[in-house]
Amino acid sequence: KVYDVTGAGDTVLSAVAFGLSKGLSLLDSCIFANICAGIVVGKLGTSVPLWEEIEPINGKWEEYLNIGLWEIQK
């Protein structure tokens, strides 16, 4: 459920930058950012995603987003 979208855009930008700085691909960084923003909008007011909320999803991004396997077409 979405409670408050305040800061969702900031969360996406910072999560993409974080992912890229840690060596993730742009696609994986965007998936990571989507997960982080999804966590943030489920909270009231300005907030941040905590690692304790992100870590259980680590490695299960495709399942969490229900997107199946990614296929990049040329």
Cβ atoms of 52 and 43 within 8 Å: the answer is: no
pLDDT tier for residue 1 given thresholds of 50, 70 and 90: low
Q: Give the active site residues.
A: 10
- Dist. CA 56–CA 44, nearest whole Å: 21
Token couple for 19: 């992912």
- Dist. CA 40–CA 21, nearest whole Å: 21
How much is the pTM?
0.71
pLDDT tier for residue 74 given thresholds of 50, 70 and 90: very low
- Dist. CA 36–CA 28, nearest whole Å: 12
Residue 71: strand, helix, or coil: coil
pLDDT in tens, 40-70: 888 888 888 888 888 777 666 656 555 444 4
pLDDT tier for residue 14 given thresholds of 50, 70 and 90: very high
